[in-house]
Amino acid sequence: MFSQPVIEDVVETFPFLELPGVVHGLVRRVPGVSVSMDRAKVLAPLQPWHDAAVQHLGFEVKKTFTAGQVHGAEIAVITADSPRWTADVDGLMTNGPDLMLGIHTADCAPVYLVDPVRRAVALLHSGRKSTEAGITPRAISLMSSTYGTDPSDLLLLIGPCIRPPLFEVDIAAMIQRDAIAAGVPASRVHDSGICTGSSVDRYYSYRVEKGCTGRLLALLGMSC
């Protein structure tokens, strides 16, 4: 008999980011939700689960901000007065307490950036095009100029994404290389090592499922 999942069953966290004041998560595949439709339609039945995850992590849905995601390298600086959805960007960053950033993925890498000194965070959608366009070093530079972040203070986590041999390039390795070149110490860059395409029972994979798939939701914020 199929058992209806509860929100705790589909929200994943990473020990690397378990720091005072840092709130993060990844909403995985939700069993029983049909994904045989386009992106806009598939997000509708997933939205209640995504909202529940935000609340489960102790944040308000009305203070959650998402991005249009166009496979570029633009990043929006989010404040409490920002629109809840920003078009034409693939990254979000904030130093506002109790503001939650959200990025959807389905093979592209969610990249979590945390500055525990300046109490600022950034969350990126880094597929092949965004990675090649330098979205990670761009975010590091923007955090430095906006919040005074020292790249050596940053923690960076690469979440689940598609990997060789299921994809022709190693996105995670490229992100890791770019982060280190931008000044983040290698010891403070962590790759989850999870391949979405190899674990479609737990994650969504656009390539393996030939476009008929859902979207994971990466979440990152700082509590007061």
pLDDT digits (tens, 9 = 90+) for 99-145: 999 999 999 999 999 999 999 999 999 999 999 999 999 999 999 99
Average pLDDT over residues 152-169: 98
Percent of the chain with pLDDT over 90: 91
- Whether the pTM exceeds 0.85: the reply is yes
Tokens of 186: 């290698």
Quote the CA–CA distance of 123 and 130 in Å, as a whole number: 13
pLDDT of residue 1: 41
How many structural domains are present in the chain? 1
Read off the pLDDT band of 187 (50, 70, 90).
very high
The answer to the question of residue 10 being in a domain is: no
Classified as helix, coil or strand, 25 is strand
The answer to the question of residue 59 being in a domain is: no
The answer to the question of residue 17 being in a domain is: no
Confidence check: pLDDT of 212 > 90: no
Read off the pLDDT band of 3 (50, 70, 90).
low
CATH number of the structural domain spanning residue 207: 3.60.140.10
* Structural domain range at position 128: 22-52+65-76+85-216
The answer to the question of residue 12 being in a domain is: no
pLDDT of residue 224: 82
Cis amide bond preceding 160, omega within 30:
no
The answer to the question of residue 29 being in a domain is: yes
